[in-house]
Every structure is written in C-alpha cells, then in structure tokens.
Amino acid sequence: MRRSVLGLAVLLAGTLSLGACDNAATFDFTIVSGSENEILEPVVMAFCAAQKVACHMSYLGSLDIGLGLRPGQEATVDAVWPASSIWIEMFDSGRKVTHLQSISQNPVVLGVRKSKAQSLGWTAGPVTTAEILKAVDGGTLRFLMTSATQSNSGASAYLAMLAAAHGKAVLEAGDLDDAATLDQVARLLHGVERSSGSSGWLAQLYRDGTRKGAVYDAMWNYEAVIKETNDALRRDGHEPLWAVYPAEGVAVADSPLGFVARGRGQEVEDFFIALQAYLLSPEAQAQIAATGRRIALGRAAQAPPEPDWNFDPGRLATAVRMPEPAVIRKALTLYQEALRRPSLTALCLDFSGSMAGEGESALRQAVSFLFSPERAAEVLVQWSPKDRIFVLPFDNEVEAVWRGTGSGDDQARLLGQVLTMSAGGGTDMYGCVRQATALMVPFLARDDFLPAIVIMTDGRSDGDPAGFLQARAADNGRIPIFGITFGDADRSQLETLAGATGARVFDGTKDLTGAFRSARGYN
C-alpha cells in the first residue's frame, strides 16, 4: 500500500513538472548529508532536475547533523541524510524528522593495504579484534579513523571495538565501567595515525598519501567508501585496500533519509516523498548498489563481488547491534575524555595589527569556546588532561609560548593568557610553525600523541610556503598543519601548507568558533 501511495506521489510530482512550462525551478529543496553520500549526488540531482526542483546538497559530519535537530534549534534544511539513524535518535527528541527510511546499508570495515594484510596473514580467513589489537600493540599496524565524536564511521568502528572487547552482543551502560574493556579499546585507539571529522575527507587523505608516497597502512571506513577508494587506487596503479570484517561483528550504518517539516507546505513534503520513493525504486537502487552500497532485499541486485580485495556485498556480515542512545552518549564522552589517542596541539594565533577590532574579538570568543570545558563538551571536542597544548600568539614574530595540558586549571590559565594579548605588528606565520614544530618534536619520539599545528590568520604572511616546506626537516613531515582563515586571509598559503602535510583549511570568516571546533575534530 505504501508503495502505491508513493507511486501516486511520483506520478503527481511528474504531473506537476509537466505543468510547468518554463525551465524555472518551482522551489528550492535543501538536503544535508554525510560526506560519504557525495557520490550519490548526481542520482539525487537528476531526479530534482526532472521535477524542476532546485535541490541543494551540503555535507556535514553526523554529529553536526544531529546537533541541528535538537529541540529549540530552528530547522534550516528540508531533509537529513546522515550515515546512521542513531544520530537522529540521540538528538531529535522533538521528533522533527518524519518519513525516515533506510536507503542503503553500509558496514564499517577496516581496509588494510593488501600487501600489509598479506604480511599479517589476514587475507586467508576471518580476522578477530584480538588479532587487530595484537598488530597495533606490536607496532605493525597504524590506521586512519574519523573522530568517534564527530563522524559516524569513527563512532561505529569505536562502538564495535567496545562491544568486541567486552565480548557481548550489545553494550550496556555498566560495561563502560569495566577497566579491562577500556584498556583494550584505548590500546586499539593507539593505532590511530590520523583522524578527521569526515569519512569522505579521510578517504581523500589516504589516496593523496598514496600518490605522494606517504603510505598509510589502513583505514576504517564504509565498505562502499573503501570500494570507491580502491577504484581510484586501481586507476592510479596502486594496490587496493583489503577489506577486513572483524569477526565479532561490524557496525552497519543504515543511511536513513528523512523529512524535516518546517512549515513549507504540502508541495514540499510531497516532493520529498517522491524523491525518497525514487531513491528506493529498482532503477535508483541499482545505481546505488553499483557504488558498493548494500541494498535491501528485493530492491536491486548487489554489486558483483571483487575477490581481489575481499568485497562481496552479498555475503553475510554479522552486525553489531547499536546500544541504547544513553549508552552511546556515555561511550562518546568516554572516547573524548579518556580513550582516544591524546592530542598534541600547537595553536598559532595571529595577533598582527590587521586583527585589531572585530578580528581580535572574534578570536577571543573562539579561544574562550575552545578553553571552556563545558561549552566544548556540548559538541564533544573537549580536551582531556592527557592532551598537550601550546599556544603561540604571533605577529611578525612569536610573542609568547604558553603551554599546558587539557586539565580544567590549565585551560583556564591558557585562556587568561590569550585574553591579555592585543593586536599589533606584521605577520609571519612560518616563524610560528617553526617554533611550534621545535616544541612538539620531543613529544613525538614517545609516539603517544596525535599531533597537529593549527594556524589562525587573517592576512598575507611574509615568507613563502614552498621555501618553508623545503627547509622543513624530513622527520617533521608527519605533523599536519591546519589553517583557519579570517578576514581577507590569503588562503593559498595555508592551502599549500595543509596540502603538503595532509591537513585542511577551514573557513573562519563567517564563524571562527565553528572553524576551531571543526579543526579539533581532526586532532
């Protein structure tokens, strides 16, 4: 019955579009989605164009999509398409989202460089979490994984690790107090070589790394994203990632598409219903299956197996059952405050003359957010006492070096110190990066930390990035240099540094606090 109602809606939408005699769009329709769905944008857009609706797809991490659904938040989109319905369950307590339906099923797997997988003996049969832990403990395996608190693929991998470590089908709140479980998961997370707030960006990092010879061992990501990566790797003549499905079970993301009612009338809701019906039609499902996504029974055939990297969407993968939302919340806080690999972060803050006035005040606000534990905790980017932080205000030279841990006292002190600064002088960000690097190198020897330098600047810096990168000692190459732009900042200098070090640049011109927050998701 539901099918025929949807069929009717498609027909209706079709009739509406036939009625429109010019090419002008009848209305706008905005969708916010997880980055892994970027590959499906053409499928969505083709339908929108046929219906003469101007669709806009934007991409956010699962946490951000969830935060936008909290009670009291004004709805700014017409549809949400996060990686997993758990993020809607956790945040949409007012039940704003309706017509929620899974579009595809996506196990989160560990893709291991094939030669690495072979040397570990993992291409011969099932691999257990205990074996993964052994490889991490022995220093033979490092992986890329998105931040569990910012992105669904990281959260999924992390929750599956917890469940496997505890040997239970489903995590319960009490399990998160078990010291042995926590120890095992912290050791597994020690394998994180790079993190990020986006699954799509992480895959890009892997591909770029391979191209540049900075070869990573492995990456936790959606089975379909591993396929997308392998397709690209093959085109470039590189070895693929071997898909490891931890035998204890994999977390499966259900990619739900839901409607957000915000009083735009029946026409908009009818369009959504038609769009969803289209995406679930055999024709669209076949296109979606071709990207390596698993398709529900009877909708379309799965993508053909690719045995050279252990891919077979028709094969049964035991799924880890998602815990109750309250348990997930507790687990995520635990990740951020205790279990993740600690951050080693240097903040290079531009206090040059051009920052006077508005820039200075925006920077103070952003730093206040960053060093206010309760505010940072709301969006799960709080520091932990294990973190090591350097703050370096600079103009044409570094004005001060303040250091601390992520403890509450240290954060308060660092904030107080930043608030004493006032803008003046020229701009040389390279000097700051050089000094930050020198401060960080001794810590890197211990291999305990996930390092990052974050430069916030509003202008054109003296010096040039190419010369700077050349002079940079080879052993410092593993510290990524992130950029946050403000005002009329010269983005190209920051882009060059970020591109060369596997980092990215965040736009702080509209929302400096938001940009700092995003950057934290990568460290």
Partner 1 sequence: MSITRRGLGIGLMGASAAATAGYVYLRDTPWLQAPAALGGFIGGEKKAFLANPRTVAALAHAGFAVDGRQAGSVEMVRAPELLSQNPDFLWPSSSVMVEIARQSKLPLRRAQVILNSPIVVYSWSNVVAGLATAGLVARSPAGYATIDLLAFLKAVLADASWASIGVEALFGKARIAATDPNLSNSGFMFAGLVANLLSGDVATPDSLDKVGGAVETLFRRMGYKSHSSGSQFEDYLAGGPGAYPMSVGYESQLLEWIIADPARWSRVGRSASRPVILYPVPTVYSAHPLLTLKPAADGLVDALMSVPLQTIAWAEHGFRGPLGAPGAGAHPEVAAMVPEHLDAIAPMPEAAVMLALLERLAA
**Contacting positions for partner 1 (CB under 8 A):** 1-5, 86, 89, 100-102, 105, 168-172, 247-249, 252, 254, 294, 296-298, 314, 316-319, 321-327
Sign of CA dihedral 330, 335, 339, 342: negative
Give the C-alpha separation, 20 to 13, whole Å. 11
Rounded Cα gap, residues 151 and 63, in angstroms: 6
**Smaller CB separation from partner 1, 171 or 275:** 171
Nearest to 501 by CA among 433, 445, 438, 432: 433
Task: Between 1 and 24, name the residue whose CB sits nearer to partner 1.
Answer: 1
Q: What is the closest distance, in whole angstroms, from the C-beta atom of residue 314 to partner 1 in the complex?
A: 7
Supply the minimum distance, in Å, between the C-beta of residue 496 and partner 1: 45
Q: Please say which residue, 102 or 396, places its beta carbon nearer to partner 1.
A: 102
Residue 322 beta carbon to partner 1: minimum distance, rounded to whole angstroms: 4
Nearer to partner 1, 300 or 367 (CB): 300
Nearer to partner 1, 41 or 324 (CB): 324
> Least distance (Å) from partner 1 to the CB of residue 523?
30
d(C-alpha 303, C-alpha 360), whole Å: 53
Closer CB to partner 1, residue 114 or residue 166?
166
CA distance 81 to 255: 7
* CB 59 to partner 1: min, Å: 23
Composition of the chain by helix, strand, coil, percent to 5: 45, 20, 35
Minimum CB–partner distance for residue 157 and partner 1 (Å): 16
CA distances from 22 to 17, 315, 356 (A): 10, 48, 51
Whole-angstrom Cα distance, residue 252 to residue 104?
10
Q: Cβ of residue 471: shortest distance to partner 1, in angstroms?
A: 52
| 275 vs 327 by CB, closer to partner 1 | 327
Q: SS3 for 17-68, per residue?
A: HHHCCCCCCCEEEEEEECHHHHHHHHHHHHHHHHCCEEEEEEECCHHHHHHC
Which residue lies nearer to partner 1 by CB, 279 or 519?
A: 279
Q: Which is nearer to partner 1, 172 or 397 (CB)?
A: 172
Q: How far is the CB of 428 from partner 1 (least distance, A)?
A: 52
Tokens found for residue 89? 């369950």
What's at 239, amino acid-wise? E
250-278 burial code (b ≥16 CB/10 A, e <16): bbbbbbbbbbbbeebeeebbbbbbbbbbb
Q: How far is the CB of 276 from partner 1 (least distance, A)?
A: 12
Read off the tokens for 407.
């403890």
384 within 8 A of 338, measured Cβ to Cβ = yes
